[in-house]
C-alpha cells in the first residue's frame, strides 16, 4: 500500500511515519507542499500515486486563526479541497484530520459522529467547512475528528505545563472546559488501522476517558513528580482570543464500530512522560 502523508513533520505526522512499517510512505512537510497551491498538490499526488492520502497538515493555531481568517480558510478548508480533488482525480482514498472544535460545546453527553456541526471559532469553522466540502467531493472520505492532541514531536499542553512547573510554584489552569486528551502515538496507530480497514465516513478517535484542562494539568504535574500547585480557573479568568467549547467529549462509538480501541488518556500520558523525561 502506498501512502502520501501531508503534515509529516507535525505531532501526528511524525508518529504516523514511525507507525507505518510495511507501507511505502511519502511524507511531506509544509515546505514540500503548500496546501494552498492546488496545482502543486495535484502534481505531488500524481507523482506519488498513493492508495491512501492522509491530510494531517493544517493551520492549528486556534488563536492565530481568529486573527487571520483568510489564512485559516485558505489552508484548512481550501487546502483540504485541493487534496480531495487530487484524490478524486487519481482514485486515491483519503483520511482528513478534523477537530472537536466543529461543535459548540453545548451538549453534556459525548458528541456522536452524526451530531450537527456548530463551530464557534474561526478554526472550528474552517474545519467544519472542509468536512462538508469533502463529503460532497469524496463520499467515501474518512473524516477523523480528534481532540486535545499531545505528543513528543512538538508544542502541546503537557509540554507547556512541564515548562511552567519547572519555573513556578503555582499555575492556574482552566477547569470549565472538558474534553478528551489524545496521545499522538495512539492516534497514529488508530489511523493506520482505519486505512487497513478501508474506513469511510466520520470517525471520532481519542484516548478513552475525559477530563478538564485543570484535571489534565494535575495529572501531568503529579506523574512528573513536580511539587508545583495547580489551581483551578475559569475560562473568563483565562480569556483567549478564540472561543473554546466548554464540553467537547467525543463518543468512541464510531471508532469501536471498526473494532479499534485506544487506551485511556492517563495511560497515554504515562508513555508520553516516559519518552519525554526518560
Place of cell 492565530: 64
- Measured distance between the N- and C-terminal CA atoms of the chain, rounded to whole angstroms: 34
Question: Of the candidates 167, 71, 180, which has an alpha carbon nearest to the alpha carbon of residue 123?
Answer: 71
The contacts of residue 65 (CB under 8 Å, 6+ apart) are: 59, 71, 72, 76, 121, 122, 123, 126, 242
Closest by CA to 161, choosing from 209, 244, 231, 59, is: 231
Number of neighbouring beta carbons within 10 Å of residue 64: 15
- Active-site residue, 272 included: no
DSSP 2-71: EEEEESTTSHHHHHHHHH--SSEEEEE-TTT--TT-HHHHHHHHHHH--SEEEE------HHHHHH-HHH
Cα R_g (the chain), whole angstroms: 18
Q: How far is CA 146 from the centre of its chain?
A: 5
In the set 59, 111, 123, 183, the catalytic residue is 123
- Cβ–Cβ < 8 Å for 71, 58: no
Question: Could you list the active site residues?
Answer: 123
Amino acid at each position: 500500500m502506498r501512502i502520501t502523508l501531508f503534515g509529516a513533520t507535525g505531532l501526528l505526522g511524525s508518529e504516523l511515519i514511525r507507525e507505518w512499517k510495511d507501507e511505502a510512505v511519502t511524507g511531506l512537510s509544509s515546505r514540500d507542499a503548500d496546501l494552498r497551491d492546488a496545482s502543486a498538490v495535484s502534481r505531488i499526488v500524481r507523482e506519488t500515486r498513493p492508495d491512501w492520502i492522509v491530510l494531517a497538515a493544517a493551520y492549528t493555531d486556534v488563536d492565530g486563526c481568529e486573527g487571520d481568517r483568510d489564512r485559516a480558510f485558505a489552508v484548512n478548508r481550501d487546502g483540504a479541497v485541493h487534496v480531495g480533488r487530487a484524490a478524486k482525480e487519481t482514485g486515491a482514498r483519503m483520511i482528513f484530520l478534523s477537530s472537536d472544535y466543529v461543535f459548540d460545546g453545548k451538549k453534556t453527553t459525548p458528541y456522536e459522529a452524526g451530531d450537527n456541526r456548530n463551530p464557534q471559532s474561526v478554526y472550528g469553522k474552517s474545519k467544519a467547512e472542509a468536512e462538508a466540502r469533502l463529503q460532497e467531493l469524496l463520499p467515501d472520505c474518512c473524516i477523523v475528528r480528534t481532540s486535545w492532541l499531545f505528543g513528543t514531536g512538538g508544542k502541546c499542553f503537557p509540554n507547556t505545563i512541564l515548562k511552567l512547573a519547572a519555573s513556578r510554584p503555582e499555575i492556574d489552569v482552566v477547569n470549565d472546559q472538558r474534553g478528551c486528551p489524545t496521545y499522538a502515538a495512539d492516534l497514529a496507530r488508530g489511523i493506520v488501522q482505519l486505512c487497513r480497514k478501508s474506513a469511510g465516513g466520520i470517525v471520532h478517535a481519542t484516548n478513552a476517558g475525559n477530563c478538564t484542562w485543570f484535571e489534565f494539568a494535575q495529572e501531568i504535574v503529579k506523574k512528573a513528580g513536580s511539587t508545583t500547585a495547580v489551581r483551578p480557573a475559569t475560562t473568563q479568568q483565562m480569556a483567549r482570543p478564540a472561543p473554546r467549547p466548554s464540553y467537547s467529549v467525543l463518543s468512541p462509538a464510531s471508532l469501536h464500530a471498526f473494532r479499534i480501541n485506544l487506551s485511556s488518556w492517563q495511560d497515554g500520558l504515562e508513555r508520553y512522560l516516559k519518552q519525554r523525561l526518560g
